[in-house]
Amino acid sequence: MGWDNIVSEEAFVNLFNGVDLQGWRMAGRGKFQVIEQERALESEDGMGLLWYTNRMYGDFILKIDWKVKRRNDNSGVFIRFSNPGADPWNAVKTGYEIQIDDLALPDGRTEHKTGAIYDIVPPTTLASKQIGEWNTFEIHAQGQNYTVILNEITVIPKFSGTRLIRGYIGIQNHDAESHVLFRNIRIKDLSE
């Protein structure tokens, strides 16, 4: 399947059921709480990684909605990392993070801005919405090729990686001050 093909929403499987953490596990001291009225997860209490334990994925399209409460909130979506056990840094070392941080704190480097493949490739543009509005990442991973779309704007047209081509999916708690919400975490497996 090519990346240019339109994939219907019916082709996606929800990884988060909107009501509890079934199938998910925390690595690190941070945590996520379920916000029932929004059917969402909210990060809190420091550095950590919430990862989907039921399955590793190879080629896929991942869609995930997120929003920040403050302009300086920081988080990320991790893809294709090995089993982190209790160490959230394992995802940083073995997978890729698609960044959420409009300010790119503390240094303002473009490869740390929202939509970047963190510390590697900066986004072509900053495409996030206003504080408190829901954003949608669409992340394509096929072989070693990656594309990132934010709110229907391609911010990483194509990146060729060198890391794992099969791994887990996760979301980050960056720090105790950041409260980022996630919902509608859904994936289309292109390996099948």
Tell me the pLDDT of the chain (192 aa) as tens digits.
Answer: 344 445 567 789 999 999 999 999 999 999 999 999 999 999 999 899 999 999 999 999 999 999 999 999 999 999 999 999 999 999 999 999 999 999 999 899 999 999 999 999 999 999 999 999 999 999 999 999 999 999 999 999 999 999 999 999 999 999 989 999 999 999 999 986
Q: Is residue 174 part of a domain?
A: yes
What is the rounded distance in angstroms from the CA atom of residue 183 to the CA atom of residue 192? 25
The encoded tokens of residue 124 equal 């072509």
Q: Is residue 2 part of a domain?
A: no
Q: Is residue 153 part of a domain?
A: yes
Q: Is residue 102 part of a domain?
A: yes
CATH of the domain at 155: 2.60.120.560
What domain count does the chain have? 1
Q: Is residue 62 part of a domain?
A: yes
* Closest residue by Cα to residue 114 from 130, 129, 133, 98: 98
Nearest-5° angle of CA 172, CA 128, CA 177? Answer: 40
Q: Is residue 185 part of a domain?
A: yes
Q: Is residue 4 part of a domain?
A: no
What is the rounded distance in angstroms from the CA atom of residue 177 to the CA atom of residue 43? 9
Q: Is residue 1 part of a domain?
A: no
Query: 58 lies in which domain range?
Result: 9-189
CA-based R_g, the chain, Å: 15
